[in-house]
Amino acid sequence: MKRYLEMAGGRRSALPADNNRVMMISPELVLYFGLIGETTPRSLGSLTIYLSFCEPFRFRTECGCWEDRHAAVVAPYLEHQIIAHDRVGMLLIEPETIDMAHVQRAGEVDGSADLAVVVDSLMNFMHRRSDALHEQDEQSIAEIRDTALGGQLQRRHLDPRIGAIVAMIRDQPWERFSAESCALVCGLSVSRFLHLFKSELGVAFRRFVAWKRARCALEYVKHRASLTDIALELGYPDSSHFSHSIRKTYGFSPRTMFFASRHLSLCMASIVGEPERTAANSHAACDEHARVCA
């Protein structure tokens, strides 16, 4: 298996200051610099890239053996664990924005030449901007997005009906979307909608919705509201369901994740790399979904 540190020419980023823990979130990707520690098995719905700042981290996929790694790339929804007592960089790319079939045709996801260029760019980015991350501007997200989504990784072209549903779920992950209501919006039977959704995205409808809701929880890590209030605001029926979903997704309990984020700098970017017509379709789908559910 190829090592991305070797692909990137063996360069390593400078270690950021102790208090320079940053997470930048856009609809397309999440960029994180900081500590992770030790996770239980986690299953992120994104294409995930881990990079070490200095010391290697311990990594394994489901039922695999532990390895010492300087870099790892994980396919969406693949269960894995990581132990990193030093700082790492993490890049989460939403799979509906890139052609995963193209990435996998290039070889193993953890050995794709296209991804090697993205990793190289991320390494260079960490080196150049590690002292300026506190500025919290959208330029940081845009720079990584342009590398990952601007040519190195091919864009995914979804069926317009499924694309509108994806955008609707992305924009309102706290809503309780059902396959029945989304099928009506698309003008399809439930069985045909579920089949088409999985065919287009490679994941079942319910699992996709669960990921988008759990992903949205990252936007709340600095909130001082109770976990119960946050759970209800995110659309979970109660704090127990919220806790189970977050632990399964991130490998941490919500309490641990929120407590560890109290010194985190959080930047919310509004960049969405979609054609305007897709955004318009999203609004139309939202209106139709509201009408159907009324």
Confidence (pLDDT) at 34: 87
Phi, psi at residue 212, to the nearest 5°? -65, -35
Q: How many residues does the chain have?
A: 294
Domain ranges of the chain: 19-152, 160-293
Give CA angle at 101 (99, 107), nearest 5°: 120
SS (H, E, C) the chain: CCCHHHHCCCCCCCCCCCCCCEEEECCCEEEEEECCEECCCECCCCEEEEEECCCCEEEEECCCCCEEECEEEECCCCCEEEEECCCEEEEEECHHHECHHHHHHCCCHHHCHHHHHHHHHHHHHHHHHCCCHHHCCCHHHHHHHHHHHHHHCCECCCCHHHHHHHHHHHHCCCCCCCHHHHHHHHCCCHHHHHHHHHHHHCCCHHHHHHHHHHHHHHHHCCCCCCHHHHHHHCCCCCHHHHHHHHHHHHCCCHHHHHHHCCCCEEEECCCCCCCHHHHHHHHHHHHHHHHHHC
Q: What percent of the chain has pLDDT over 70?
A: 69
β-pair type (37-38, 80-84):
antiparallel
CATH topology of domain 160-293: Arc Repressor Mutant, subunit A (1.10.10)
* pLDDT above 50 for 206: yes
pTM: 0.81
Average pLDDT over residues 260-283: 63
> CA 280, CA 49: separation in Å to the nearest integer?
31
> CA 98, CA 46: separation in Å to the nearest integer?
11
More confident site: 148 or 280: 148
Q: In sequence order, which residues have a C-beta less than 8 Å from that of residue 135 and are 6 or more positions away? A: none
More confident site: 128 or 224: 224
Per-residue pLDDT of 92-106, as tens digits, reads 999 998 887 766 544
Average pLDDT over residues 176-200: 97
Average pLDDT over residues 143-169: 80
Per-residue pLDDT of 52-82, as tens digits, reads 878 899 999 988 899 999 889 899 999 999 9
Phi, psi at residue 80, to the nearest 5°? -155, 170
pLDDT confidence bin for 226, thresholds 50/70/90: very high
CATH topology of domain 19-152: Jelly Rolls (2.60.120)
> CA 126, CA 49: separation in Å to the nearest integer?
13
